[in-house]
Copies of this chain bind each other. A is one copy, B any other.
Amino acid sequence: MSTKKEDLLHMAEILFYDHGFHSIGLKKIVNESNIAMMTLYNHFASKDELVIEVLKRREERYMEHLAFFATYLKDHGEGSERDSAFVRIASAHARWLTDHSAKGCLFLRAKEEYGAQHDHPVVTLADGHKRLLREFVQASDPARSAEEALRLCLLMEGATALAESEEGPLVAREMIVMAEILFA
């Protein structure tokens, strides 16, 4: 992929996450990226397509982080007390939260901003991400019920949201504690 295109996607993700999708203009994105407007339109057909590619890349990164970190915790489990798959996923999500700034879930925010157009591709993508996440949770421990999988998703969403108004590390720690109680 072109360097310019990567720069654009990188800066667009930062600005969208900091300011929201509708608040940020393409002009600011190309200015901050030191890239000409026509170069943006050479790589993306429209702002919507840029938004979609930003979200797709973020989803890929997030799911990879979750899978990698959960696997790592499984192999390098802390001595005698080895966590369940659900607790490991909670820990992996906690790590993501503390590594990233506290502005909530970009997919939920996208759905909220574009949600009025019910069949907008951004909304479809956001819904797909949430479904993928739930299926990932369920598949990590098929012995668990669908209700239990939903509960872990609720914990993860809760931590993401609460970290917007409370201290991130504290929130992450409490989420793991709750996961340990619920999924011992």
Q: Which residues of A contact B (CB under 8 A)?
A: 18-20, 22-23, 103-105, 108-109, 111-113, 115-116, 126-127, 130-131, 134, 147, 150-151, 153-162, 164-166, 170-171, 174-175, 177-178, 181-182
Contacts of A162 in B (CB 8 A): 150, 153-154, 157
Contact (Cβ within 8 A) A108 B161: yes
Q: Which 4 A-B pairs have the closest CB atoms?
A: A158-B158, A130-B165, A157-B161, A154-B158
Contact (Cβ within 8 A) B161 A20: no
Out of B104, B116, B156, B175, name the residue touching A112 (CB < 8 Å): B104
Copy number in the complex reads 2
The A contact surface, by secondary structure, is helix
Contacts of A20 in B (CB 8 A): 20, 22, 112-113
Chain B nearest Cβ from A51, distance in angstroms: 13
